[in-house]
A and B are shown apart, each in its own frame.
Chain A
Amino acid sequence: MLIEILREKRDNLIKGWQGAVRETYPKGNRIKFTQRPQEFNDPIGHLLNRDLPVLVDLLLDGDMDKPELQAHLEPLCRLRSVQDFTPAGAMGFVYAMKKLVRESLSESELNEPGLLAELLAFESRIDRLAMYAFDLYVSCREELFELRANEARRRSELIVQHFAEHGKEAFTERVDPPEGEKPAVTNGHEGGEA
């Protein structure tokens, strides 16, 4: 019964959820977000329009193991993993759905027999979604740390390779070529510490 009620209110749920995510960004942003979102000029708006409706449908269908679910949850988690949020702030948007669902039920609906049980079951789906989101968030954060390490490696990759192939002397001890063939390093900058 709950699902039927929510299906009727699907559009409001989506709208409300999008609004709740937007609310997590600082004031002053609303102008941009109300415009038609474009993929490259407003990625946040674009993701909200593209992914949240699918997630709402999946929640209503109750199939929480579908691969689509991760595919549509991931971009938002990835984006929020680098934005100015604490982990809770970044992932809290999933729980906003609970509030929306509760608010969308009228008092009489809420006190129908059996509905509370259904509500609890539905909220478990939201919890499940939150756990997925947290996994994705953490894996994105881990990726960031890997990127840090990779970048340092890239910067010196060829020097390390050079050392491995030619030995340390290649850089530290220069053997002067015979007189006459000496390279014309004449600017007096040979010395000094790197």
Chain B
Amino acid sequence: MAEKLKPDALFNVDYSPPKKGWMDTTAIDFNATKGNWNFAATPESMEYLDMPNVRKWQPYEDDWKLPNDWQRILFEGFKKRLKKFRSLKVFMDICVRCGACADKCHFYIGSGDPKNMPVLRAELMRSIYRNDYTLFGKVFGKMVGGRKMTMDVLKEWFYYFYQCTECRRCSVFCPYGIDTAEITMIARELMWEIGVGIDWINTPAANCFRTGNHLGIQPHGVVDSIEFAADEVEEITGIMPEYSFNRKGAEVLFIAPSADYFASPHYYTLLGYLMLFHEIGLDYTWSTYASEGGNFGLFHSHEMMKRLNAKMYMEAERLGVKWILGGECGHMWRVIHQYMATLQKPANFLEVPKSPITGTVFEHAKSTKMVHVAEFTADLIQHNKIKLDPARNDHWVPTYHDSCNPARGMGLLEEPRQVIHACCNNFHEMPENTIREQTFCCGSGAGLGTEENLEMRMRGGLPRGSAVKYVKDKFGANILLCMCAIDKATLPAVMDFWAPGTEVGGVHEMVGNALIMTGEKHRDTDLRGEEYPIVDSQAHLAPPQEEEAVAQEDQADA
């Protein structure tokens, strides 16, 4: 050897990332980060909703085709909102950057990207606020954490404010009670003013505005799918459930998320609703117009939220129902519970919801007149009004994912658990810091549940996935129950990736399985067509045909 070897000379590579502060932002490279963002809104859907700056564009293009004075539009829009929403101004001023929220965000936990810390995500907006609206910021600029709105900053806004599912887990831990989700909401709303937003929010909102639901199902499509589902209930139970559409004078208007009509595994929950309502003889109607509980307006702008929420109440008024019962939906409940009172007037033309079966008056829904189906069912169970055989769900070992909006948005923590306990024998909870008000988001809410955004969704779904894997390994959990249509649509992929072998289902699917219906036939399968466990509650019913045939054959042989 000519020279002596030195350790450093062998392998001298610098692994450390660029040493730059977060404020010196470089433009997000949308080509290099495919899988982490969503496609832009289409001109058709933007036109339909009278949005400004309608054009064809995509985030990866160099030219976003913004109006010439886009900075002024954002400045004016921000100013208007600071004046209109006192909460926004407080949230902008009050944060002390203690970092309590930092490691609470599922996107941050899964990605390790500091700009996914809720505090820093909000800081993307606060830095503009300081620069433009505070005296210190105007004078000292960057020294006091202010920065100018530039194209690079706008790209960062688009990238990171569409990496927040508005789940509000961070807000639970904020000592000041800052609702970081509302900061995201305002940022998105501002970006829409210059025509910057994503298609998976805008097209469903446009669909909902046109046909009454996000999927754009027309009235006869809604009728078809409910009829189809009713036929299926008859096939399984031998009972044709009663249902009606747009029936004036019905006592209750039932509104489910539209994914329940078609998508899997939502559909089994739909079967559960039909069976339950038939069994208790509820005087209710579906609507082909208010055929959507979800409200993608929440992810869009205040104006859109209001426009979409109004439809349910207009329909309730038109049909002359007494109150509204809502299905297993997530963000609809956030809108109803938290925003409707100030966004719209209280629904005084309706009556305070009162269960016709148990007589319970749902006082908490005095203003909105809308009751969640889990509350309604839990009340039925509490009063022993339905017969359930939990053994019929013995083939399932369920665990429960508190969907963010019903859990944190309206405090619906006990009711679904009561229902599940009554319907299942093998229920197991996930670890404490991943459920109830600390529940982890599915990682795909707030309009981010698209295929093009899959990598980001998997990062966001990691904490939920690992918690499910924990109960799967420990107790053999094989189904994750939840109460939100977005969860049901997006958690299957999260489960396939992080906790393979776990199915996703709805709470009322379990109700449907366990429900003993008056006059039912011997049920061979559950709502998914899976073989039913052999249970005592079926003992009095005719045995399955195969056994009959075998018995006859035996007789013939004899």
Instruction: Say yes or no: B493 contacts A102, CB within 8 Å.
Output: no
**Nearest chain-A residue to B99 (Cβ)?**
A31
Produce 1/0 per residue, A87-112, CB < 8 A to B. 00000100010110011011100110
Question: Within 8 Å of chain B (Cβ to Cβ): is A79?
Answer: yes
Question: Within 8 Å of chain B (Cβ to Cβ): is A154?
Answer: yes
Question: Within 8 Å of chain B (Cβ to Cβ): is A44?
Answer: yes
Question: Within 8 Å of chain A (Cβ to Cβ): is B221?
Answer: yes
Looking at the complex, which one of B102, B463, B467, B497 makes contact with A147 (CB distance below 8 Å)? B497
Question: Within 8 Å of chain A (Cβ to Cβ): is B403?
Answer: no
Quick one: given A41-B109, A150-B496, A158-B262, are A103 and B219 in contact (CB under 8 Å)?
no
Q: How far is the CA of A24 from the CA of B16 in the complex (A)?
A: 7
Quick one: given A103-B7, A187-B219, A189-B218, are A143 and B262 in contact (CB under 8 Å)?
no
Instruction: Say yes or no: A26 contacts B217, CB within 8 Å.
Output: no
- B399-439 contacts to A, CB under 8 A, are 431, 433-434
Produce 1/0 per residue, A34-65, CB < 8 A to B. 01001111111000000000000000000000
Q: How far is the CA of A128 from the CA of B456 in the complex (A)?
A: 30
Interface of A is mostly: helix
Q: Tell me the count of chain B residues lying within 8 A, CB to CB, of chain A.
A: 76
Quick one: given A26-B114, A151-B492, are A174 and B220 in contact (CB under 8 Å)?
yes
Quick one: given A107-B7, A185-B245, are A40 and B434 in contact (CB under 8 Å)?
yes
Question: Within 8 Å of chain B (Cβ to Cβ): is A4?
Answer: no
- B210-243 contacts to A, CB under 8 A, are 210-212, 216-221, 223-225, 228
Produce 1/0 per residue, B1-33, CB < 8 A to A. 000111110110101110110100000000001
Q: How far is the CA of A150 from the CA of B451 in the complex (A)?
A: 10
Looking at the complex, which one of B8, B103, B466, B490 makes contact with A103 (CB distance below 8 Å)? B8
- B190-224 contacts to A, CB under 8 A, are 210-212, 216-221, 223-224
Instruction: Say yes or no: B470 contacts A39, CB within 8 Å.
Output: yes
Instruction: Say yes or no: A83 contacts B459, CB within 8 Å.
Output: yes
Q: How far is the CA of A105 from the CA of B103 in the complex (A)?
A: 37
Contacts of A68 in B (CB 8 A): none
Q: How far is the CA of A125 from the CA of B134 in the complex (A)?
A: 59
Contacts of B496 in A (CB 8 A): 143, 147, 150
Looking at the complex, which one of B11, B33, B454 makes contact with A99 (CB distance below 8 Å)? B11
Question: Within 8 Å of chain B (Cβ to Cβ): is A82?
Answer: yes
Instruction: Say yes or no: B15 contacts A40, CB within 8 Å.
Output: no
Most chain B CB within a 10 A radius of its CB, from A35, A106, A116, A183: A183
Instruction: Say yes or no: B219 contacts A43, CB within 8 Å.
Output: no
Instruction: Say yes or no: B246 contacts A83, CB within 8 Å.
Output: no
Question: Within 8 Å of chain A (Cβ to Cβ): is B387?
Answer: no
Question: Within 8 Å of chain B (Cβ to Cβ): is A164?
Answer: no
Question: Within 8 Å of chain B (Cβ to Cβ): is A159?
Answer: yes
Looking at the complex, which one of A32, A107, A144, A183 makes contact with B246 (CB distance below 8 Å)? A183
Quick one: given A40-B440, A96-B15, A187-B219, are A151 and B470 in contact (CB under 8 Å)?
no
Produce 1/0 per residue, A155-175, CB < 8 A to B. 111110010001000110010
Q: How far is the CA of A114 from the CA of B245 in the complex (A)?
A: 85
Distance (whole angstroms) from the CB of A56 to the closest CB of chain B: 18
Q: How far is the CA of A29 from the CA of B99 in the complex (A)?
A: 12
Q: How far is the CA of A158 from the CA of B217 in the complex (A)?
A: 14
Distance (whole angstroms) from the CB of B544 to the closest CB of chain A: 23
> Which residues of A approach B to under 8 Å, CB–CB?
20, 23-29, 31-32, 35, 38-44, 78-79, 82-84, 92, 96, 98-99, 102-103, 105-107, 110-111, 116, 140, 143-144, 147-148, 150-152, 154-159, 162, 166, 170-171, 174, 183-187, 189-190, 192, 194
**Nearest chain-B residue to A165 (Cβ)?**
B228
Instruction: Say yes or no: A192 contacts B455, CB within 8 Å.
Output: no
Contacts of B451 in A (CB 8 A): 148, 151-152
Quick one: given A31-B99, A40-B433, A144-B455, are A26 and B246 in contact (CB under 8 Å)?
no
Quick one: given A144-B454, A157-B264, A158-B264, are A194 and B220 in contact (CB under 8 Å)?
no
What are 8 A-B contacts defined by CB distance under 8 Å? A28-B22, A41-B433, A84-B36, A84-B113, A98-B11, A144-B454, A158-B262, A192-B211
Contacts of B466 in A (CB 8 A): 39-40, 43
Distance (whole angstroms) from the CB of B59 to the closest CB of chain A: 16
Q: How far is the CA of A155 from the CA of B261 in the complex (A)?
A: 11
Quick one: given A107-B4, A110-B7, A185-B245, are A84 and B212 in contact (CB under 8 Å)?
no
10 closest Cβ pairs, A-B complex: A28-B114, A25-B112, A82-B458, A187-B289, A99-B11, A194-B216, A147-B493, A148-B451, A184-B246, A82-B455
Instruction: Say yes or no: B288 contacts A41, CB within 8 Å.
Output: no
**Nearest chain-B residue to A159 (Cβ)?**
B262
Question: Within 8 Å of chain A (Cβ to Cβ): is B42?
Answer: no
Question: Within 8 Å of chain A (Cβ to Cβ): is B489?
Answer: yes
Instruction: Say yes or no: B8 contacts A158, CB within 8 Å.
Output: no
Looking at the complex, which one of B103, B114, B217 makes contact with A194 (CB distance below 8 Å)? B217
Instruction: Say yes or no: B17 contacts A27, CB within 8 Å.
Output: yes
Instruction: Say yes or no: A170 contacts B248, CB within 8 Å.
Output: no
Question: Within 8 Å of chain A (Cβ to Cβ): is B172?
Answer: no
Quick one: given A102-B7, A103-B8, are A185 and B114 in contact (CB under 8 Å)?
no
Quick one: given A144-B455, A159-B262, A171-B221, are A29 and B114 in contact (CB under 8 Å)?
yes
Q: How far is the CA of A116 from the CA of B5 in the complex (A)?
A: 10
Q: How far is the CA of A32 from the CA of B101 in the complex (A)?
A: 11
Most chain B CB within a 10 A radius of its CB, from A105, A143, A151, A162: A151
Q: How far is the CA of A162 from the CA of B227 in the complex (A)?
A: 12
